[in-house]
Amino acid sequence: MELKTKEAGLKHPLSGRSFLTLSDYSEEELLYLLELATYLKNARKAGENKQPLKGKTLGMIFEKSSTRTRVSFEAGIFQLGGTGLFLSKQDMQMGRGEPIADTAKVLSGYLDGIMIRTFSQATAEELAENASVPVINGLTDTYHPCQVLADLLTIQEIKGGLKGLEIAYIGDGNNMANSLMIGAATMGMDITVAAPTGYQPDPGITLKAISIASAHGSKVEVTSNPQNAVDQADIIYTDVWASMGQEDEQTTREQMFSGYQVNKDLCSHAKKDAIFMHCLPAHREKEVTAEIIDGKQSVVFQQAENRLHAQKALMLALMG
């Protein structure tokens, strides 16, 4: 197995860079990461045991709990020959008020890369500004770029490409919606986000995604009508109605989003070969019915596995 493209051919080499939001990366760079992820996935399934990051260490800062993010990063760095260190806020001086800038400088002396899963995007950005090693955004309240990189890999595997496809995102205009808009626009895909008034994506991020789309021949739209969004869509995507930290809004959100459930009737408006995606964890019979998420069109567990392969590509490209 060989890569068709070489990182050296990119206009902006990835080594040493941080990964905070997809808008920092060009279409060419994202395609390289997807190709590298495919290469690493195939190599693992073929039983190859190359360890290009042997001797390197990734620090993983968690201010938010996680299943997929922690396990995929920890397993991924191990498979690449390196070591992953789990660092909870409670176990670090950050939890006692040490400035983020100081933490970044200290960790840079010990580590080859840092992944952070936190609440504020500003925290991830300040960490990256003061670190001398790459910082990867494992999730913030504003963006979830690692998930979308895995989503793009999944769509590419199933559909054979990305450009020209249509995504319908149904539900809360949260960090997933924000990153999906940017990722889709960059790759020449059309995306429509359907969310109730008051729960639609950040207007500034939406305008940024529209600007990116205009340069890539794609379109980004936001609506309150879920049926219009899924009309002839290739991909139907949803997320939980109340994200981590919004548990006290659960009842209100269930009322507001009751007309945004992904079910058989809604999916009937999409293309016959449309796939269903969800970043997980999912609440069956809330944002999606069991019939859909457990049905033949669902690819949610392929998505989940691809977090591992996409993030291995990220770590190798940035830390290698």
Distance CA 186, CA 69 (A): 24
| 279 annotated as belonging to a binding site for a ligand | yes
| 214 annotated as belonging to a binding site for a ligand | no
91 given a catalytic annotation: no
Query: Which residues are CB-contacts of 114 (< 8 A; sequence separation ≥ 6)?
Result: 58, 59, 60, 61, 104, 107, 108, 127, 131, 133, 134, 135, 136
147 given a catalytic annotation: yes
Catalytic residue among 190, 261, 279, 311: 279
| 175 annotated as belonging to a binding site for a ligand | yes
- Nearest Cα to Cα of residue 14 among 40, 38, 34: 34
| 253 annotated as belonging to a binding site for a ligand | no
| 244 annotated as belonging to a binding site for a ligand | yes
| 144 annotated as belonging to a binding site for a ligand | yes
Catalytic residue among 79, 112, 117, 261: 117
Distance CA 177, CA 182 (A): 9
> Which CA distances in Å does 175 have to 85, 142, 279, 290?
25, 5, 11, 24
Which residues are paired to 198 by β-bridges?
none
| 103 annotated as belonging to a binding site for a ligand | no
Across the beta sheet with 190-194, what order do the strands follow? 220-223, 190-194, 166-170, 235-238, 275-278
17 given a catalytic annotation: no
117 given a catalytic annotation: yes
| 44 annotated as belonging to a binding site for a ligand | no
Catalytic residue among 79, 112, 141, 147: 147
Catalytic residue among 79, 156, 234, 307: 307
Which residues are paired to 139 by β-bridges?
117
| 226 annotated as belonging to a binding site for a ligand | no
Catalytic residue among 156, 239, 303, 309: 239
| 307 annotated as belonging to a binding site for a ligand | yes
Give binding residues for L-ornithine as ranges: 175, 239, 243-244
Which residue positions form the known binding site?
66-69, 93, 117, 144-147, 175, 239, 243-244, 279-280, 307
Q: Point out the residues that are catalytic.
A: 117, 144, 147, 239, 279, 307
Residues comprising the binding site for carbamoyl phosphate? 66-69, 93, 117, 144-147, 279-280, 307
